[in-house]
Amino acid sequence: MQGFLHLSNGEVFEGEWITSKPDQDVFGEVVFYTGMTGYQEVLTDPSYKNQIIVFTYPLIGNYGINDIDFESEQPHVAGVIVYEGSMEFSHYNAKSSLKEYLEKWNIPMLGHVDTRALVKRIRSNGSMPSCLTNTPHLKEEFVDRTGKAVQEVSSKEICSYGSGDIHIVLMDFGYKKSILDSLLERECKVTVVPFNTSAEKVASLQPDGVLLSNGPGDPKELTPYLNSIKSIISSFPTMAICLGHQLVALTFGGNTEKLLFGHRGANQPVMDLIRKKVFMTSQNHSYVVNEPSLKGTGLYVRFRNINDGSVEGMAHESLPIITAQYHPEANPGPAESAGLFEEFLQMVHYKIRREKVYA
């Protein structure tokens, strides 16, 4: 059964439905992911909310879907595009095929698409609105579904996990389960709170530190919450990842901007400008911090992307704040940058020791 991807620049790519053909047109921003593995983590990463993901690796689905590698309870992508989708899996942990999993959630997958040509278009023209349809002619206008994505994926209530001596509040803008797991593995008690939780409420939870999570969309959509976020991160040792990193820049007066096609994959080289070391990272984002805008904010660049020189992380001159545009929890991807969690917890322990001295 033929299916079509319509791009907002007027181009159309033809393929065949691997899943059942959708009952209605599916709109989303078309982006591409370069990793060879990790499709299950990508599908369930809330940062991909309302996006149509193109997998550049030609064979996707060969190890199926398991019960272990989910980053949230459900997939968040609007649609999937592959060159070849293998529905015969051979992994000992697999419980279902990729096709079965996507059909369970009514997410269409279009195969036999010239993904190499499609990715070249995205690299040249940028990520753009797109639509998956059953017809070669699009009858309706493109629908922008990028706004309010954080509200759709964030927790609706406060939940606590673990029982460690260190208490971390995880502000949920669309967090990956691997971030929570990384804190629990380091014997933290973690309280997950909705993205719009007030500074007063966070303070009442008496955390030792705060982590601002990843999440979907434009960070400037959250401008109404910046004053509250600034109050929170100025009061507690803070770590921020991806969208959280961008929000830290905005709260102190910096600016963010959209990349042409973003960073999505598990092979992005990043340099730690303090330790003078390069490590490989997993990334998924469209927006970056504008470096010149950091002048006078108290923030400075700690990590830099080797490929394009973009800001990959910051620290504050006087406050215990450290941020990463990349994903130190990885999943999928290399775990070389996981030490950032230890650095964050060292800041937390330092604050606790100081409070005991002055008590």
Q: Point out the residues that are catalytic.
A: 242, 327, 329
Contact criterion met (CB below 8 Å) for 190 and 184: yes
Q: Indicate the helix (H) or strand (E) that contains 122.
A: helix 115-125
**Could you give the CA distance from residue 85 to residue 271 in angstroms, rounded to a whole number?**
35
The C-alpha atoms of residue 247 and residue 214 are separated, in whole angstroms, by 10
In angstroms, the Cα distances linking 325 to 187, 191, 209, 283, 341 are: 24, 22, 19, 8, 14
Rounded CA separation 50/48 (Å): 6
**How far apart (Å, rounded) are the C-alpha atoms in residues 272 and 295?**
20
Chain centroid to CA 306: how far? Answer: 20
Q: How far apart are CA 350 and CA 49, in angstroms?
A: 37
Q: Which has the closest alpha carbon to 348: 183, 237, 211, 212?
A: 237
- Edge-first strand order for the sheet with 255-272 is 159-161, 188-194, 166-172, 209-212, 238-241, 321-324, 311-316, 299-305, 255-272, 277-290
- Distances in whole angstroms, Cα of residue 174 to Cα of each of 145, 267, 346: 16, 23, 25
Q: Can you list the positions of beta strands (E) in the chain?
A: 2-7, 12-17, 26-33, 51-55, 59-60, 79-81, 84-85, 109-111, 128-133, 159-161, 166-172, 188-194, 209-212, 238-241, 255-272, 277-290, 299-305, 311-316, 321-324
Q: Which amino acid is at 233?
A: I
